[in-house]
């Protein structure tokens, strides 16, 4: 063999992605289960698609920052440019556009895809994450917006979060456009101001004000008004014509509708701009209100025109993307994750090499009765076998040696409570069921 250390491969995973060990998978599965069950309780159907997409899918509408700086793009062997999906929205829009005539609108669709973005890994930001995508196609009405936002709220509640632990920040792309239009900002100014507003929560007021004035040059009055709108977040600071606008009324209607459903942790927030070019109506982000993890957890909005990039006529749509990384941080912060419990019920300890064949047959019969059984063939001392079961969190152990092979009863132990019992083979499943209860 030979070869020194230099020939050894690193055991580290690729930067910014995670290896999911069984205990991580337990958490992941729990998170997905709550997402799935809640989405389905609102009548949403699951879909899926490949991770690979032709790169031009993202050029039309996914934000410039993501396409230029964050995509994993490569040429395949046939010379085509391929991208690992940096979000799911263009994919689902493509799927809907490709067979819209066969679909029964309105569509309520959800998926939990993995997403790749070349970002600087940090708390809450990785290069691969999973993202629940929930999208409602075919409805223009604010009821659809309310439905989708209330689904987001319900997922949080089903995770066990209290309303004081998170807030739903709501804004509107139409309202933002109206404000920018009011000040006659150029395309370039709009882009720079939007980017700055997006980072508003990450800097002190004075810094925001200086940067805003920088971007707007000689339009310092506009900067002052924008500062008052975004900085103080007060509707009264809006120009009068906008205070009386449909755009503002629409947001108020959504918030009122949510209130009627008993959802009161909503905040009108002008600093929510969302980084994608396809949003056309309401936009929202859910924030953790606590100090430790005070950040945006997930977000979404209405995008009525995305289908047009496929040459199709308009299909109104509203949805959101909820990431597993930020959710996991949130649930950990508030102690809302369930304790680890493996799927294995019983650890079958073999007390002698000679009984291993019979233990395997016993294991097969117990599985038929619905018990998940792992058999220890190590030949180690029984104490060591129990240690393995304990380390894995397996709740029950069964001891199987030459005597048990001959006798009519089996010795079973609840490793959590220490309770031991002699039971007939046909009663093992029932014993476990009762101990669980």
| CA-wise closest residue to 302 among 284, 285, 281 | 281
Which segment (93-101, 136-144, 259-267, 294-302) binds ligand HAM by CB under 6 A?
294-302
Three-class SS state of 208: helix
Binding mask 325-344 for ligand HAM (x = CB under 6 A): xx------------------
Binding mask 73-102 for ligand HAM (x = CB under 6 A): --------------x-x-------------
Residue from 110, 137, 320, 347 binding ligand HAM (CB under 6 A): 320
d(CA 251, CA 283): 10
Q: Given the complex with ligand HAM, which of 135 and 404 has the nearer CB atom?
A: 135
Residue 425, both tokens: 């083979």
d(CA 230, CA 201): 10
Kindly state whether residue 38 participates in binding ligand HAM, applying the rule CB under 6 A.
no
d(CA 51, CA 69): 18
Residue from 111, 133, 165, 245 binding ligand HAM (CB under 6 A): 133
Cβ neighbors of 336 (< 8 A, separation 6 or more) are 159, 160, 161, 330
d(CA 301, CA 306): 12
Kindly state whether residue 299 participates in binding ligand HAM, applying the rule CB under 6 A.
yes
Residue from 231, 300, 316, 363 binding ligand HAM (CB under 6 A): 300
Q: Given the complex with ligand HAM, which of 323 and 395 has the nearer CB atom?
A: 323
Kindly state whether residue 71 participates in binding ligand HAM, applying the rule CB under 6 A.
no
Q: Given the complex with ligand HAM, which of 301 and 316 has the nearer CB atom?
A: 301
d(CA 67, CA 63): 7
Count the Cβ atoms, other than its own, within 10 Å of residue 271.
18
Residue from 113, 316, 321, 395 binding ligand HAM (CB under 6 A): 321
Kindly state whether residue 281 participates in binding ligand HAM, applying the rule CB under 6 A.
no
- Given a contact cutoff of 8 angstroms between Cβ atoms, the answer to whether 173 and 301 are in contact is yes
- Given a contact cutoff of 8 angstroms between Cβ atoms, the answer to whether 348 and 177 are in contact is no
Q: Exposure of 16 by Cβ count < 10 A (0-12 exposed, 13-18 middle, 19+ buried)? A: middle
Q: Given the complex with ligand HAM, which of 50 and 241 has the nearer CB atom?
A: 50
Kindly state whether residue 119 participates in binding ligand HAM, applying the rule CB under 6 A.
yes
Write down the least CB distance from residue 194 to ligand HAM, Å.
14
Q: Given the complex with ligand HAM, which of 268 and 330 has the nearer CB atom?
A: 330
Which helix (H) or strand (E) element contains residue 77?
A: none
**Residues contacting ligand HAM: total by CB under 6 A:** 23
Kindly state whether residue 130 participates in binding ligand HAM, applying the rule CB under 6 A.
no
Helices and strands, counts by H and E, the chain: 17, 17
Residue from 126, 346, 348, 428 binding ligand HAM (CB under 6 A): 126
Count the Cβ atoms, other than its own, within 10 Å of residue 221.
10
Which segment (186-194, 293-301, 345-353, 409-417) binds ligand HAM by CB under 6 A?
293-301
Which segment (24-32, 105-113, 230-238, 299-307) binds ligand HAM by CB under 6 A?
299-307
Kindly state whether residue 142 participates in binding ligand HAM, applying the rule CB under 6 A.
no
Write down the least CB distance from residue 128 to ligand HAM, Å.
8
Cβ neighbors of 134 (< 8 A, separation 6 or more) are 39, 44, 109, 110, 148, 151, 152, 300, 319, 320, 322
Kindly state whether residue 117 participates in binding ligand HAM, applying the rule CB under 6 A.
yes
- Given a contact cutoff of 8 angstroms between Cβ atoms, the answer to whether 266 and 243 are in contact is no
Q: Given the complex with ligand HAM, which of 116 and 180 has the nearer CB atom?
A: 116
Kindly state whether residue 125 participates in binding ligand HAM, applying the rule CB under 6 A.
yes
d(CA 265, CA 166): 7
d(CA 225, CA 97): 41
Instruction: Name the phi and psi angles at 330, rounded to 5.
Output: -60, -50
- Given a contact cutoff of 8 angstroms between Cβ atoms, the answer to whether 320 and 134 are in contact is yes
Q: Given the complex with ligand HAM, which of 213 and 295 has the nearer CB atom?
A: 295
Residues that bind ligand HAM (CB under 6 A): 87, 89, 117, 119, 125-126, 129, 131, 133, 135, 296-301, 319-323, 325-326
């Amino acid at each position: 063999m030979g070869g020194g250390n230099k020939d050894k491969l690193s055991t580290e995973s690729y930067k910014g992605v995670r290896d999911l060990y069984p205990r991580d998978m337990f958490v992941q599965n729990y998170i997905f289960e709550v997402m799935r069950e809640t989405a389905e309780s609102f009548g949403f159907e699951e879909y899926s698609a490949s991770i690979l997409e032709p790169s031009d899918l993202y050029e039309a509408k996914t934000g410039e920052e993501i396409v230029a700086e964050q995509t994993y793009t490569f040429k395949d062997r046939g010379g085509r440019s391929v991208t690992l999906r940096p979000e799911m929205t263009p994919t689902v829009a493509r799927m809907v556009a490709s067979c819209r005539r066969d679909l029964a609108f309105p569509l309520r669709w959800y998926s939990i895809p993995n997403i790749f973005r070349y970002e600087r890994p940090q708390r809450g930001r990785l290069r691969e994450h999973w993202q629940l995508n929930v999208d409602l196609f075919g409805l223009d009405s604010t009821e659809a917006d309310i439905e989708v936002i209330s689904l987001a709220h319900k997922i949080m509640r089903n995770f066990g979060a209290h309303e004081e632990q998170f807030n739903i920040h709501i804004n509107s792309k139409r309202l933002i456009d109206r404000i920018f239009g009011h000040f006659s900002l150029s395309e370039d100014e709009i882009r720079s101001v939007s980017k700055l507003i997006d980072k508003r929560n990450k800097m002190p007021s004075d810094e925001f004000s200086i940067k805003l004035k920088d971007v707007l040059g000689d339009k310092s009055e506009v900067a002052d008004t924008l500062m008052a709108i975004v900085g103080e977040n007060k509707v009264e600071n809006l120009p009068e014509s906008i205070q009386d606008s449909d755009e503002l009324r629409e947001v108020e209607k959504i918030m009122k509708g949510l209130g009627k459903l008993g959802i009161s942790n909503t905040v009108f927030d002008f600093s929510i701009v969302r980084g994608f070019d396809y949003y056309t109506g309401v936009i929202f982000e859910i924030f953790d209100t606590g100090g430790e993890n005070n950040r945006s957890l997930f977000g979404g909005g209405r995008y009525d025109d995305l289908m047009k990039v496929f040459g199709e006529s308009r299909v109104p749509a509203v949805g959101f993307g909820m990431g597993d990384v930020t959710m996991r941080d949130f649930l950990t912060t508030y102690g809302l994750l369930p304790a680890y419990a493996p799927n294995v019920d019983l650890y079958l300890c073999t007390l002698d090499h000679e009984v291993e064949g019979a233990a395997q047959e016993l294991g097969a019969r117990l599985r038929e009765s619905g018990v998940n059984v792992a058999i220890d063939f190590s030949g180690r001392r029984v104490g060591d076998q129990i240690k393995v079961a304990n380390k894995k969190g397996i709740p029950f152990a069964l001891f199987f040696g030459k005597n048990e092979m001959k006798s009519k009863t089996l010795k079973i132990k609840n490793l959590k409570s220490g309770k031991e019992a002699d039971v007939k083979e046909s009663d093992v499943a029932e014993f476990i069921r009762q101990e669980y209860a």
